Structure 1
Amino acid sequence: MATLHGQPVLILKEGTQRTVGRDAQRLNIMAARVIAEAVRSTLGPRGMDKMLVDGLGDIVITNDGVTILKEIDVEHPAAKMIIEIAKTQDNEVGDGTTTAVVLAGELLKRAEELLDQEIHPAIISTGYRLASEKAMEILEEIAIPISKDDDEMLKKIAATAMTGKGAEVALDKLADIVVRAVKTVTEEVNGKLRFDPDYVKLERRQGGGIEDTELVEGIVLDKEVVHPAMPKRVKNAKILLVDSALEVKETETDAKIRITDPEMLQKFIEQEEKMIKDMVNKIVEAGANVVFCQKGIDDLAQYYLAKAGVLAVRRVKKSDIEKLAKATGAKVLTDLRDISSSDLGEAALVEERKVGEDKMVFVTGCKNPKAVTILIRGGTEHVVEEIARGIEDAVRVVGVALEDGKVVAGAGAPEIEISLKLKQWAPTLGGREQLAAEAFAAALEIIPKTLAENAGIDPIDVLVELKAAHERGEKYTGVDVETGKVVDMKERGVLEPLRVKSQAIESATEVAVMILRIDDVIAAKGLEKTKETGFEGMGEPEF
């Protein structure tokens, strides 16, 4: 509201909350730091888990950063921006979400100290951006090349991603399954390796133990055979994939059929039956003995298919139909009029098996499957879900490592190396940007510091030892959370893809810069909440 000649002039809508200048920056930074602090204790192999209970009473137990942040309901817009970088990190590389969020929080904390020294946000932003670019160069220098045939190294990458996510019981076995799955579906396109995580299907099933998790070189469907008289096991399967319903089609236009005597009704029913029988005959004549249908299968069609000894499954998800096409080499048909034997896919065996309490259909023995399934087992639903999250992360990072052919040591080694190199480089900037670059370098120390804290080790001692080791040129030295010592992580086999680190640093920098440049927050009345939520208008956030 402004005043003109003593007369109040309403500019913003009544009830709108406005925070300007230093207050806006302080509140935004606080909101971002609260979110970072919420997930900080989950970082690393000794990180703790969070139990999240939603409004319906459903429980999630996890230490996966992005899962936690997706589940918690936040109000503050700056907090939402921090959650966005976790989602981006997850979409791009699948791991390093907690690292990105914790780093963003620390960058903002260091920036706040510079703001208190009257350094302009634009100068801090420039310094951060320059430091981030330099960090990318340093990462490239310390990256370790990896070949697609180096299975041992790939297993170590998978194991690093799964450590701390409940998978330690069967870490070696799970790492082996992940590497085999990723290598099976990775394809070479124009001389470059390409991996699509969509073609590694994760099927969860409660029961058994984590050790019972297996890789199926084919597709597992959470479905059962549609008719009891159908075969439950088909060898040398010729597979037909249909994305339309196996039933009499309805007319496109509104039409009425007037039947005046019982004979006409009988003829009409017989004609419908004949159409369905012809449809099934075409399937059988083409040589198909297994049918996967995306939509429904008419009861009569089920009967004729069963009579012909064809195994059929209905209402298969579109994504599963696509995976089946990729695994078996079948074409997805919409119209059965043009069906031929060349449209069919092949598999050595299709069978219905009982897994736990439910029946599932296994399509195995595909010649060159470009889609596979990892069947995840565990004692309880929550264990299975957490193992699945760990395997999903491992699948993504192994795929990224194969595509890029470069990895870095883990356990805080790259962060300390970048931090030291940035501190040496910062004075070349001159001006106040140097202070921002030094703050950026100091912020990177939060990762090894947090790893040490979460493992119950003195963080100050660890940082001193780490810096001393890196100054001696031991660039792969990181924190061993089991012994509390600093060791060579390349030899220890703690490795992460280069892209996980570079994406985390870039994302954290971008969001920190964006939040720093905000000096005015105007919140519409609709954002206002009651005090019961712990957050009223644009006041101080409470989570």
Structure 2
Amino acid sequence: MAQLGGQGQQLIILPEDTSRLLGRDAQRMNIMAGKVLAETVRTTLGPKGMDKMLVDGLGDIVVTNDGVTILKEMDIQHPAAKMLVEVAKTQEDEVGDGTTTAVIIAGELLKKAEALLEQDIHPTVIVMGYRNAAAKAQEILNNIAIDAADRETLKQVAMTAMTGKGTETAREPLAELIVSAVKQVEEDGEINKDSIHIQRIQGATVAESEIVNGVVLDKGRLDPSMPKEVQDAKIALLKYPVEVKDLETDAKINLTDPSQMQAFIEQEEQMIRDMVDKIIASGANVLFCQKGIDDLAQHYLAKAGILAAKRVRKSDIERLEKATGAKVVTNIDDLTPEDLGEAGRVHEKKIFDELMIFIEDCKDPKAVSLILRGSTKHVAEEVERAVEDALGVVSATVEDGQVVAGGGAPEIAISKGLKDYADTVSGREQLAISAFAEALEVVPKTLAENAGLDSIDALVDLRSAHEKSPYMGLNVFKGDVTDMKAANVIEPKRVKKQAIQSAAEAAEMILRIDDMIASSKSGQPSPEEMAAAGMGGMPGGMPPM
């Protein structure tokens, strides 16, 4: 609202039910939301991080220490907190790991900015300092990166990513499977992670997980009379349903004689028989159809000794193309022997209580399947999340060919470099760059806290060790500072690059907000309600137990 000149009248610009927070209040509220969210996931960081149990409205349980999974499962309402969830999602999409790191760095950057705001340093100055610091951090990261993408390095990267994620006992065999899968689907130095299909099955132990050089479909053959196993398979992939199509327009057929009805049925049967004959004529002995297959067609296919499955997912059809060399045929009339794919063996197999079709022994397949086992559903789910993270980091290492040491080593090295850089910058931006440098130390500090070590002693020892080598990190199992490069604790450079960049950008965006205007129709709590609630607990998060 505003007063009009000397009239004394009020001019209403916003609806009456709109709420608003201005200036320092808006900044304080957003910073608090970021800090609370970072604190929520902070205890999950590192090999000795703890797990969270998340229970949704239906009573379904998720037990995990995967940062992005925790943030997705929490019902977060606060708009600034949602921006940090986006940071985690971007990190997950880009690299697959480092989501917790990205969020806690963003939270610490906001915390350091709050102290600078208290000193009356303008948010724009802080933002410019953070931007320069983020750019300088990338330079320092490039200088400390190690060129390596050999098989042994990839295995170590995978094992580092899986440490502390419920796969501890079977890290080595799983790392071997992951590296084999990534190497198999690599094309011209690029990896399409969709080509690696993860099939999660409970029962048995994690160590009994396996790789299939081909595709595994989570469905059985259509008819028990179909062959259970086909050697030297010739595979047809159809988009077209093997059934009589419904008329596209509403139509009535008037039958005046029972013989006409019989002729109509026979004609339909003949059309289906013709379709099956075309499949047989192509030489196919295995059929996977994206749409439906008529019961009568199933009978004829079984009689011809063809193993068939219907309603196969589009993503599975695409993987079958890459694995077998088959071409997807849209029109059954166009099916020729040249369109067929090849596999050494196609067979149905029951694992635990699930029937599956294995298409394996393919010639240089560009799609593979990983069968992951776990003693219970929740264990199998957590194993899957750990393997997905490891697949992401191994793929990033293959594509970039660069790694950095783990255990908080890169953060300390970058922090040290930024403090030296801050001394060369004049004006108040120097304070923001120093704050950025200190914020990065939250990673080794958190690693120490989660391992039950003294975080101050750990930081002092790390800073001292970095005077000699940039690869010195915190060994949380022994409780001392170790050369992480020599200890084979390594991560892809891209994990750190993306985490620092996205955390800095999110912090910048939140710091530039000085006005929060919320409509009551938005369904979000108003700024006043959020202020009154004092941001207690998780922002708009899980209900009290």
TM range, smaller chain: over 0.9
- In 2, Cα distance between the equivalents of 1:311 and 1:225? 6
- Preserved CA contact (<8 Å) 2:78 2:524: no
Q: What corresponds to 2:475 in structure 1?
A: 480
- In 1, Cα distance between the equivalents of 2:151 and 2:92? 24
1:254 to partner: Cα distance:
3.0
Q: What corresponds to 2:33 in structure 1?
A: 31
Q: What corresponds to 2:543 in structure 1?
A: none
Q: What corresponds to 1:368 in structure 2?
A: 364
1:530 to partner: Cα distance:
7.7
User: What amino acid sits opposite 2:3 in the alignment?
Assistant: T
Q: What corresponds to 2:529 in structure 1?
A: 536
Whether 1:503 and 2:505 are equivalent positions in the alignment is no
Q: Secondary structure, in 3 states, of the residue corresponding to 1:324?
A: helix
User: What amino acid sits opposite 2:143 in the alignment?
Assistant: E
- Preserved CA contact (<8 Å) 1:36 1:102: yes
- Preserved CA contact (<8 Å) 1:410 1:495: yes
Q: What corresponds to 2:19 in structure 1?
A: 17
TM superposition score normalised by structure 2: 0.96
Whether 1:318 and 2:277 are equivalent positions in the alignment is no
User: What amino acid sits opposite 2:35 in the alignment?
Assistant: R
Q: What corresponds to 1:235 in structure 2?
A: 231
1:529 to partner: Cα distance:
6.2
Structure 1 residues 86-127: Cα deviation after superposition (integer angstroms, max 9, x where no partner): 000001110000000000000010011111111111011000
Structure 1 residues 355-408: Cα deviation after superposition (integer angstroms, max 9, x where no partner): 001111111000011000000111100000000000000001100100000010
1:538 to partner: Cα distance:
5.7
Whether 1:424 and 2:420 are equivalent positions in the alignment is yes
Alignment of 1:188-337 (within 5 A): 188=188, 193-337=189-333
Q: Secondary structure, in 3 states, of the residue corresponding to 1:456?
A: coil
1:528 to partner: Cα distance:
5.7
- Preserved CA contact (<8 Å) 2:77 2:525: no
- Preserved CA contact (<8 Å) 2:17 2:519: yes
User: What amino acid sits opposite 1:119 in the alignment?
Assistant: I
Q: What is the number of equivalent residue pairs in this alignment?
A: 534
- In 2, Cα distance between the equivalents of 1:318 and 1:52? 32
Q: Percent identity?
A: 60
Structure 1 residues 282-341: Cα deviation after superposition (integer angstroms, max 9, x where no partner): 101101000011111100000000000000001111111111111111001110101100
User: What amino acid sits opposite 2:491 in the alignment?
Assistant: E
Q: What corresponds to 1:514 in structure 2?
A: 509
- Preserved CA contact (<8 Å) 1:412 1:448: yes
- In 2, Cα distance between the equivalents of 1:421 and 1:3? 53
TM superposition score normalised by structure 1: 0.97
Q: Secondary structure, in 3 states, of the residue corresponding to 2:207?
A: helix
1:527 to partner: Cα distance:
4.1
- Preserved CA contact (<8 Å) 1:64 1:98: yes
- Preserved CA contact (<8 Å) 1:243 1:332: yes
Structure 1 residues 54-91: Cα deviation after superposition (integer angstroms, max 9, x where no partner): 01111000000000000001111100001010000001
Q: What corresponds to 2:125 in structure 1?
A: 123
Q: Secondary structure, in 3 states, of the residue corresponding to 1:141?
A: helix
Whether 1:90 and 2:92 are equivalent positions in the alignment is yes
Q: What corresponds to 2:542 in structure 1?
A: none
Q: Secondary structure, in 3 states, of the residue corresponding to 1:430?
A: coil
- In 1, Cα distance between the equivalents of 2:240 and 2:55? 40
Structure 1 residues 171-206: Cα deviation after superposition (integer angstroms, max 9, x where no partner): 100000000000000111xxxx10110000000111
| RMSD, aligned α-carbons | 1.4
1:258 to partner: Cα distance:
1.7
Moved more, 282-291 or 249-258: 249-258
User: What amino acid sits opposite 2:108 in the alignment?
Assistant: E
Q: Secondary structure, in 3 states, of the residue corresponding to 1:194?
A: coil
1:13 to partner: Cα distance:
1.1
Q: What corresponds to 2:541 in structure 1?
A: none
Whether 1:469 and 2:465 are equivalent positions in the alignment is yes
Moved more, 255-264 or 415-424: 255-264
- Preserved CA contact (<8 Å) 2:19 2:528: no
Q: Secondary structure, in 3 states, of the residue corresponding to 1:375?
A: strand
- In 1, Cα distance between the equivalents of 2:529 and 2:346? 58
Q: What corresponds to 2:70 in structure 1?
A: 68
